[in-house]
Amino acid sequence: MTKSEKVDFTIKILNELYPVIPVPLEHKDPYTLLIAVLLSAQSTDIRVNQITPKLFERADNPYDMIKLSVEEIREIIKPVGLSPMKSKGIYGLSKMLVEEYKGEVPQDITLLETFPSVGHKTASVVVSQAFGIPAFPVDTHIHRLMYRWGFSTGKNVIKTESDAKRLFPKELWNDLHLQIIWYGREYSPARGWDLEKDIITRTIGRKKVLQEYAKKKAR
């Protein structure tokens, strides 16, 4: 298969498996999505979805959030981990939204990246899922699969994002990044990986990856 045929095959399989794409983090608007994505760093979506209702019951907008202290926010979000840093980030970005943006989350990745605790991936998720602006946030699943499929070198997430944007049509980015995440979780995980269930890697996978898998199986 040519690279182009491999890309087409990948899109076809992902569309068949995920015609309707669930959004991993529960939210009701751009602000609650921003907070949920920030909380998800080095945590699981399941854990975040258990905690955000408790936080949003107290404050689901930046005006109410800054009425809470950093310590109060920290107490609520402790189970998701990294709570000292995340609570300061939540309070800080909420204050910035109120003081500089009339409480409205900006739709620009570059502006979002100026907020406390908001990196490129978080900003990309927000513009993509909240505003429908094409972006390709790269998480560990996407980084792993782009390497397994021979679409990127696996050097770093910046390179992976650049390769994904170059290979996949822009109008599909927002759907594809979510489809690849779900596929990575369900069919091509880092641990407990069964190649028989992983039709994409089995069909188009990087030769080195397939050889290493076969060697492990043979032991």
Whether 8 is a known active-site residue: answer no
Whether 175 is a known active-site residue: answer no
Q: Are 40 and 25 in contact (CB under 8 A)?
A: yes
Please identify which of the residues 60, 139, 165, 175 carries the catalytic annotation.
139
Please identify which of the residues 6, 86, 121, 198 carries the catalytic annotation.
121
DSSP letter string, 133-202: -------HHHHHHHHHTTSS--S-HHHHHHHHHHHS-GGGHHHHHHHHHHHHHHTS-SSS--GGG-HHHH
Q: Which two three-digit tokens encode residue 216?
A: 């492990």
C-alpha atoms less than 13 angstroms from C-alpha of 115 in its C-beta half-sphere: 35
d(CA 109, CA 122): 9
Positions annotated as catalytic residues are: 121, 139
